[in-house]
Structure 1
């Protein structure tokens, strides 16, 4: 789609921007087209950024490229790499560049100078999950639709003290009409993030990524942000009593992005109405524990966004539980001071008697005071109620067996040595259902860190399609 205003587009759209492009420190403009799709951003130039006598180099890379479109929009392109060039004599030199991301609305000189007052993001499935039902139809006595009315719902606005920020539910409304026979009225639900002072681009993107992960955890679907709007200083070019802030749009590539044509609310692990009264509390806790447990949350949510291979999914879940235990329990085999004293003596001896092995021994001793995976899982299970453990795994003998299955299988997938591993899980079904159990354990742990009662999580596990089907089946396969 050419001749397009990028401000009206979102990350799901494909479009072309015709315009002139230049480097920030240069006055020389080059004609070209910016091609956008969610998988790839390309800038095609009819000419060159270099001197006309320079030979193009595929190593050419520019931090910033400025653009001005035929529709009057300003662009700032970031991390621009040359991919191909072509020259024919007689003919015109052409260059093609890959672009990592770009902002519509201004020519910024550097990323470091960019600061915004607020940001609005529009995640997939958010509207369906909130289930506001803003439209209401009015019918005549024959049940013929006569009009549609918009009902303002009570949108939430929360204060997140950890970030000194307000998070507010908002609506982005699109309408188009042919007054003779057609009227289209659509909305997108988003979140407006307004800090107590201006913040840079990376700060806003980090917060949006964190909120995306929280929604992924709760909704139990891969969440994608399909529109980023940023707002800056008051726009003095607009007259009248109303004051508007300058608006900017942000675009980047999002590979492997798929969206369900219809989102089924029953797919969500937790429905909004079940936590509406405590959602502000949950968001605040999320940002409180995010720094300490970011790796655990990322390992869980990243599984929603990549091609799933059962071995890597199993190992990722194990790693998440191990990392959590290490941070939460800090269990060691020996007192740290005692162990350090022993380790120093062993290393000193090794350097003296077997210097060729000293560095290897020193590396091994770096982890020598860590407890086993078996003990870690036992302690994690010991921190959960009996009912939920029995529902996910089974009674105590089955729990003991499952722990050994995890240990044997993790060791085999790490070292590929079967040895005498009597409880090794080898088939796809065994690994799949073991991973489902691990995911259920991850969810219990993460929700408890967010301040949610275990009984509430247990109820959701029993009544969610994924776990209510997979966990009973896991007992038949694994027990």
Structure 2
């Protein structure tokens, strides 16, 4: 395979980089090898070994490894572990390393010294979600309109959004890139790709950028309603003077890492989203600030909700996780206590004294431990409070009548308890059939989606209408009423 430039590749490409590799500070001990990249796997195969230590051979771990490709690119490999070490006689030694991620464009000694000015990334479906009218098509017809005289396509420059996020101490702005390729006697290809740029007030490390690019991607996922992936990630570093000009630019670094193997939709249109950009354009600054401001408190809720879209799980595990999203959300956002805390502590103390005085020690200890958690809301109380926090019209759309809501809560509680303890005694609302569990999951996901929309300040009435009319949830919510109610 011919050599290629890593800077021109995307996170969806599968490619190989030939080069020489060494431990930082030991460039004289270079070893030839090939770096292999695929979406879900990165590994380095060397003809030889980076270490001369016979006692540690096969157990090596490196924070970074440097490389120089056959195309003249500098690479820094991060979090490197030996997967396999083989010595043949006759023959020669080979080693295979597992790589977490790598940076193209420069050398870094360790992760602690990696600092960047800004980050630009292209997530899937962003261009469609924004729905910008980028290209203008003009057709010229004959006077009698019988045939086409000419056709012209022009590029329509447009305004992009730019918002400062106070809690983040950074600006988040829209970017775009266009690419024109043509064989003017045969074909023309003109493409436009949207991106997001994060510019903090001061240089930040790799961990900071990684956390916040995921948060932006998750917010996009919330609006779109489909799993989204990173297609390209570029960091910008120190300022450099461009050759033969007085212009100043920033050094570019391309970042590659393992992400879940993508499940991209073959065809995607702006109408496939739950909420499009025009719906929230005027509120985007407020939404971004709320989203980052509430991250610390709702991090587990964010993670549980979005992770479900990327992992292949058994339906029982998925149902337990979607129930847990509501349970954790209630713990974080509601009081969740039956009695006033001070009053309950006094009552619990009195009850424990009585237990110790009148019952055997072992029994008193068992009941006393239960008393410690007796003031916590049950799962049914938590779900009920969440659902009755919505407007009545919203409850009707999501679940149905009061009787339907009570039945749904019993189904969730009994099914959760059954899947946890496998005790079905006297339980008549357990969801046993996969189809029942599937539609319960769809209903729970719709509820979680509405909750997150409300947390970023969006109107409940408008958002429930968007959810109920979306390709993602319209069928599931209708069928759930037939199956579960």
2:396 alignment partner, one of 390, 415, 436:
390
Alignment match, 2:121: 121
1:373 alignment partner, one of 351, 373, 379:
379
Is residue 173 of structure 2 the alignment partner of residue 172 of structure 1? no
CA distance in 1, matches of 2:171, 2:56: 48
Q: Deviations along 1:21-71, whole A, 9 cap, x unmatched?
A: 1001313111111111112111111111112x7266332111110111111
After TM superposition, give the deviation of residue 246 of structure 1 in Å.
0.3
2:210 alignment partner, one of 182, 190, 205:
205
**1:86 alignment partner, SS class:** strand
**Unmatched segments (≥5 aa) in structure 1:** none
Given that residues 238 and 244 in structure 1 are in contact (C-alpha distance below 8 angstroms), is that contact kept between their aligned partners in structure 2?
no
Given that residues 242 and 248 in structure 2 are in contact (C-alpha distance below 8 angstroms), is that contact kept between their aligned partners in structure 1?
no
Q: What TM-score comes out, normalization by structure 1 length?
A: 0.93
Alignment match, 1:216: 221
Given that residues 2 and 16 in structure 1 are in contact (C-alpha distance below 8 angstroms), is that contact kept between their aligned partners in structure 2?
no
**1:418 alignment partner, SS class:** coil
1:261 alignment partner, one of 258, 266, 283:
266
CA distance in 2, matches of 1:289, 1:74: 39
Given that residues 216 and 223 in structure 1 are in contact (C-alpha distance below 8 angstroms), is that contact kept between their aligned partners in structure 2?
yes
**1:465 alignment partner, SS class:** coil
**2:19 alignment partner, SS class:** strand
Q: Deviations along 1:231-277, whole A, 9 cap, x unmatched?
A: 01111463412211000010011232121121133321111122222
Q: Deviations along 1:324-375, whole A, 9 cap, x unmatched?
A: 1112211213332344456567779999997878987776555332111111
Q: Deviations along 1:90-110, whole A, 9 cap, x unmatched?
A: 322111111110001111001
Is residue 471 of structure 2 the alignment partner of residue 465 of structure 1? yes
CA distance in 1, matches of 2:472, 2:271: 10
CA distance in 2, matches of 1:197, 1:16: 35
Instruction: Give matches, 1:9-408, under 5 Å.
Output: 9-27=9-27, 28-51=29-52, 54=54, 57-141=57-141, 142-143=147-148, 146-178=151-183, 180-236=185-241, 238-340=243-345, 364=370, 366-408=372-414
CA distance in 2, matches of 1:357, 1:30: 68
CA distance in 2, matches of 1:144, 1:384: 59
CA distance in 1, matches of 2:110, 2:131: 41
CA distance in 2, matches of 1:408, 1:367: 20
Pair 144,372 (structure 1): closer, same or farther in 2 beyond 3 Å: farther
Q: Deviations along 1:204-252, whole A, 9 cap, x unmatched?
A: 1100010111111110010101111000111146341221100001001
Q: Size of the alignment, in residue pairs?
A: 478
Given that residues 139 and 146 in structure 1 are in contact (C-alpha distance below 8 angstroms), is that contact kept between their aligned partners in structure 2?
yes
Q: Deviations along 1:128-157, whole A, 9 cap, x unmatched?
A: 111113122333423366443211111111
**1:304 alignment partner, SS class:** coil
Greater CA drift, 36-45 or 84-93: 84-93
Alignment match, 1:4: 4
Greater CA drift, 71-80 or 363-372: 363-372
CA distance in 2, matches of 1:471, 1:118: 42
Given that residues 388 and 395 in structure 2 are in contact (C-alpha distance below 8 angstroms), is that contact kept between their aligned partners in structure 1?
no
Pair 100,347 (structure 1): closer, same or farther in 2 beyond 3 Å: farther
CA RMSD of aligned residues (A): 2.4
Given that residues 2 and 18 in structure 1 are in contact (C-alpha distance below 8 angstroms), is that contact kept between their aligned partners in structure 2?
no
After TM superposition, give the deviation of residue 416 of structure 1 in Å.
0.8
**2:223 alignment partner, SS class:** helix
CA distance in 2, matches of 1:360, 1:225: 51
Greater CA drift, 54-63 or 345-354: 345-354
2:443 alignment partner, one of 437, 446, 450:
437
After TM superposition, give the deviation of residue 379 of structure 1 in Å.
1.2
After TM superposition, give the deviation of residue 296 of structure 1 in Å.
1.4
Pair 345,265 (structure 1): closer, same or farther in 2 beyond 3 Å: same
Given that residues 136 and 149 in structure 1 are in contact (C-alpha distance below 8 angstroms), is that contact kept between their aligned partners in structure 2?
yes
**Unmatched segments (≥5 aa) in structure 2:** 142-146
